[in-house]
Amino acid sequence: MPRDPRFAGAFTAIITPFTADGSAIDFARLEQQIEFQAAGGVRGIVVAGTTGESPTLGEHEYPKLLARAAELARARGLLAIAGTGSNSTAHALELQRIARDAGMDATLSVNPYYNKPTQEGLYRHFASIADAATLPIVLYNIPGRTGVAISPATMQRLAKHERIVANKEATGSTDSATEIAIRCPELALLSGDDSMTLPFASVGAVGVVSVVSNLAPAKVSGLCAAFLKGDWNAARALHRELFDLCRAMFLETNPIPIKAAMRLLGRDSGSLRLPMTEASEPTIAAVREALTRAGLR
């Protein structure tokens, strides 16, 4: 059994809402979006992750975003998880301290990117963070973004640390997810890809860190609730309902399509910061069609 049962169910990788010109965080909109997530029954939110455009958040913005999101989430009974990953171990440790001081409940720590450490380097990076941290840590295994994957054997070594409680598995590989579930029963295995939520659940995952739940939190949380209680027929039905939407959200690099979708629904300005750019017209048309088919507009 996972060492921390809180890390099961649907967690929304929440977008960071910007003003129309992209110059500032829209905190009023952030409150509305977190309220929408709470009403949809998700277990928690992930703030300043990939979907939250963490690479373009200013040093002055990041602590304020975390503190406000933690406050809003706590008032609504949601877990608040902060993206604290870096390809510098020292910088990642500093982000952990900021997350703690902001009142976050846990942190999400991604594979170091660009410098592509060895498996021993990955182990030492995450072990150093866990040794110094005071908050629970969710590892984030996403080789498509970082160029390197945490192997199941390295994950098993890291799972022995009491502050490492979960793994967001965004490899897209059921083989990797299966081996990690077998080797690391103490970790809560979470899908990092919406379309893989049900396939990963079939081999032992207990939830998802979702992009699509920005749009449909009740359905994503319902999917997780269904498979967690063993109702695979209901889970399969929800998986199929969400499938087109899942695919549409990754027609271009995340978070380009999800921000386009939120703008189409009137729930966000849709602004992104360079080097992220607005969705192409074909993508917008596909997103609009997927939203319509899903009954969201």
Active site residues: 140, 168
Read off the DSSP letter of residue 96. Answer: H
Kind of pairing between the strands at 9-13 and 79-83: unpaired
Place of tokens 């993206």: 83
**Which DSSP string corresponds to 124-162?**
HHHHHHHHH-SS-EEEEE-HHHHS----HHHHHHHTTST
Six token digits for residue 102: 């902001």
Cα-to-chain-centroid distance, residue 260: 18
Q: Is 243 exposed, middle or buried (0-12, 13-18, 19+ CB in 10 A)?
A: middle
Q: Is 279 exposed, middle or buried (0-12, 13-18, 19+ CB in 10 A)?
A: buried
**Which DSSP string corresponds to 205-238?**
--EEEESGGGT-HHHHHHHHHHHHTT-HHHHHHH
Cα–Cα separations (whole angstroms), residue 73 to 25, 45, 77, 99, 142: 17, 8, 6, 14, 26
70 with 30: CB under 8 angstroms?
Answer: no
53 with 79: CB under 8 angstroms?
Answer: no
Beta bridge partners of 192: none
